[in-house]
Structure 1
Amino acid sequence: MQIAGIITEYNPLHSGHVHLMEQVRRRLGPECGVICVMSGDFVQRGDFALVGKYARAEAAVRCGADLVIELGLPWAVSSAERFADGGVQTLLATGVVTHLAFGSECGDAGALMHVAQVLESGEFSRRLRARLCDGVSFAAARQAAAAELTADAALLGQPNNVLGIEYCRSILRHGAELTVLTLPREGAPHDGALAEGTHPSASAIRALVEERKEEQALSWMAPAMAQAYRQEAAAGRAPVLGQRCERAILARLRTMTEAEYAALDEGREGLYRRLYEAGHTAATVEQVLETAKTKRYAYARLRRMVLWAYLGLTPGDCPPAPPYLRPLAANGTGKRLLAQMRSCAQVPVLTRAGAVRGMSARAQALFALESRAADLYSLAYPDLRAAQGGRAWRDGPVLL
């Protein structure tokens, strides 16, 4: 049986995401299984997910996925490179996935793999260091350095291509036997505006929610996602918006030492000093970001650093590989895959939270971070009466 893995956020899930799953089964056959590795309560752009992970995972299964496994927190809220590597390693750890499927602007797996091979070369690393000395952003330096080595460097100018290239780099690094299946992305571009007759972008849907145009937003979600959203909203748990925790985030930033800021700066480039000054003077999170930002540093990187500060994370908290697999939702096929994984997965399958106490120290440390993050996420619920702590220890996968 062929099993396709999809690395995703579903924040929120819409017709474009459903289309990808449908196309995967067209390519690989209707009996193909689909395992999604999905970000949990926090997402890669350094923000709170609009709806909690179990609700999004259930919607994914109702829309075509067979099994949804959580992408561990340290990978979910990291750079594209680490996000991709965490997702690939999670799929590999299942022991059952045969294909990695994703959408890209180019739809050409060979071209994406070629660029990945260039980026993995020692010559590229040398040229990248030289370009970074020019003071440009990392993305600009990367594309310029790659252009000196391949005519396909222009692929690095489009976000879904970039993520696809990072997936390919991870496959190369781990010597993985995963077949890459990329399909041309259809509909609105990443962060693009909504347009009738085409697949939406998740960011445009989130913008409608933030503008309190909830019914419009729901009309663009996949029906199962809209239903999950309504159920969470009725329970006081949606929409989850980071600005509800703004005072808590600012309090954390104002009480951190310079050394604590320095621990967030993976590149050791001095960015933490700008963030330290802004964190102790700005009156809003947006002011913190605007004050610290320069043309060299991506806005998303700063957002992630602020989120890591709020969650009490540091780069050192990211294990070299996922120490367990945490299922979030499954249907009948997914349950059979879980049973298979119990004998062939590279790491334990964690369906009951209490079982983590019998796992490795690394697994217990990661789960403790996940539990704390879940408690901090719930503080952004519309109704604080729904924000009881300790849910990570009580919640289990949704079985359909």
Structure 2
Amino acid sequence: MRTAGMIVEYNPLHSGHLYLLAQTRRLLGPDTAIVCAMSGNFVQRGDFALLRKHQRARAAVESGADLVLELPLPWAVSSAETFADGGVQVLSASGVVTDLAFGSECGAAEPLMELAACLLSPEYPDALRRRLDSGRSYAACRQEAVSALLGPEKAVLLETANNILGVEYCKALLRRRSSIRPLTVRRTGSVHDGALEPGAHPSASAIRALLRDGETERALSLLPPAMAKVYREEAAAGRAPVFAETCQRALLARLRTMTESDFAALDQGREGLCRRLWEASRSAVSVAEILSAAKTKRYAYARLRRMVLWAYLGLTPADVPAAVPYLRPLAANDTGRRLLSAMRREASVPILTKPADVRTLGPEARRLLALEARATDLYTLAYPALSAAQGGGEWREGPVILGGPPPC
């Protein structure tokens, strides 16, 4: 039996994600098991997840996934390259994943693997460096460098978001000499971060925008039943929707108490970006103002948002372990439980089904789970109902197991 891995956020899960699940089983076989490496309570664009991680994982399993493993915090809130590498580490460490499935605009793995090999080639760094001196954005310089090495007809694939992320997945597979095979499905529906289009799969950002604007019923009508049900339950409990603006004063307070050297540690002192953020944080009265004041044409907002989020969470690049030190299941069905049993034999790192089990592991694993616990406590401050924001939940909540008792 083949086991497909997916690197996901499900923020929130929508029909486009269901399409990828279905197409993966169509291509690999109806009995294909699916393991997701999913971001926790914070996501790659430098933002709070709309719903807490265990409930998003539950909706994923009720919608067709078999097992959801957590992508640990430092990788989940990093650049696309680090995010992809963390996801590949999680799936590879499981010892059971045979294929990596993802959506892309081009719908073919071979050209994405060729681009990945180019970006890892010894010629690429010099080609990129010569163009970065122009002051243009990193993305534009990368595409021009690849165009010089492979030709413009191949470099043009780097213009779209899902192709770019797919290339990062392929880079991680190549860099780690993984036996996992890439499998990509042509993405259909609204473009990444795009507006809603009639009759097309919605984008997650468009759904979040509806919820932010109070159009709850319209947004929920676009979600799979399991995701809509989880959202309603969380909203009724005062835990959804989660938006960063809800705890904006806490974010601003953290930024204003930081020194210039604290900001420098976030970006390891490179390129003056940290100083721009520090200066903006002294006077701005909203996170949006800080981002606008610090923005330059060279850097995307996502990078700035991630730096602000890292500041709020108290993370620095030094907190990223050399490798993922454990696997942590968030949700599973019966097939997922069988996968977990196989992983206990095949996985290259320990599996944590009970948070307290981390005490039996090394100091790096304990530090990482402590970071997750602190981040979860800070995440809950963005719940609509502050009364629901009790701390310590990370140490109490185990995986959601559907169809049977929890694993030992």
Q: Same fold (TM over 0.5)?
A: yes
CA deviation map 1:118-148 (0-9, x unaligned): 0001111111011111111111111111110
Over the aligned positions, Cα root-mean-square deviation in angstroms equals 0.7
Alignment deviations for residues 211-249 of structure 1 (CA, whole Å, 9 cap, x no partner): 011111101111110000001111110001110110000
Post-superposition CA distance 1:39-87 (Å, at most 9, x none): 0000001000001101100000011000000100001000000000000
2:77 maps to what in 1?
A: 77
Could you say which residue in structure 2 is the equivalent of 1:374?
A: 376
Determine the structure 2 residue equivalent to 1:273.
275
Aligned partner of 1:17 in structure 2 is 17
Q: Which 5+ residue runs of structure 1 have no aligned equivalent?
A: none
Q: Does 1:94 align with 2:94?
A: yes
Equivalent position of 1:54 in the other structure: 54
Deviations 1:317-357 (A, max 9, x none): 11121100010000000001001101110100000000001
Other structure's SS at 1:37 match = strand
Aligned to 2:123, what secondary structure does the other structure show? helix
Equivalent position of 1:108 in the other structure: 108
Alpha-carbon separation, structure 2, partners of 1:222 and 1:44: 23
**1:198-347 paired onto structure 2 within 5 Å:** 198-266=200-268, 268-347=270-349
Q: Distance in 2 between matches of 1:317 and 1:233?
A: 33
AA matched with 2:83: F
How far apart, CA to CA, are the structure 2 residues paired with 1:392 and 1:318? 19
Matching residue of 1:170 = 172
- The answer to whether the aligner puts 1:155 opposite 2:162 as a matched pair is no
Q: Secondary structure of 1:75's match?
A: helix
Tell me which residue corresponds to 1:190. 192
Superposition misfits of 4+ residues, deviation over 6 angstroms: none
- In structure 2, distance between residues paired with 1:342 and 1:193: 43
Q: Given residue 62 of structure 2, which amino acid in structure 1 is its aligned partner?
A: R
TM-score (norm 2): 0.97
Hey, what's the Cα distance between the residues in 2 that align with 1:316 and 1:96? 30
Q: Equivalents in 2 of 1:302, 1:227: separation in Å?
A: 33
| Deviation at residue 281 of structure 1 after TM alignment | 1.3
- Rounded Cα–Cα distance in structure 2 between residues aligned with 1:382 and 1:219: 22
In 1, Cα distance between equivalents of 2:140 and 2:88: 25
- For residues 185 and 35 of structure 2, what CA distance do their matches in structure 1 show? 17
Deviation at 1:266, TM superposition (A): 4.5
Helix, strand or coil for the counterpart of 2:149?
A: coil
- Aligned AA (1:145): A
Question: Mind listing any 5+ residue stretches in structure 2 that lack a counterpart?
Answer: 403-408
Q: Which amino acid aligns with 1:119?
A: L
Amino acid at match of 1:333: T
Q: Distance in 1 between matches of 2:5 and 2:26?
A: 15
Which amino acid is 1:42 matched to?
F
SS for the counterpart of 2:238 is coil
In the TM superposition, residue 163 of structure 1 has moved relative to its aligned partner by 0.3
Deviation for aligned residue 1:196:
2.3
- What amino acid does structure 2 have at the position aligned with 1:17? H
Secondary structure in 2 aligned to 1:356?
A: helix
Q: TM-score, normalised by structure 1?
A: 0.99
Aligned residue number for residue 68 of structure 2: 68
Cross-structure match for 1:39: 39
Distance 1:271 1:241 in 2: 25
Question: Letter of the aligned partner of 2:9 in structure 1?
Answer: E
Matched residues in 2 for 1:255 and 1:117: separation? 43
**Whole-Å Cα distance in 1 between the matches of residues 362 and 227 of structure 2?**
35
Aligned length: 400
Q: How far apart, in 2, do the equivalents of 1:109 and 1:266 lie?
A: 34
Q: Which amino acid aligns with 2:199?
A: G
Matched, 1:133 2:133: yes
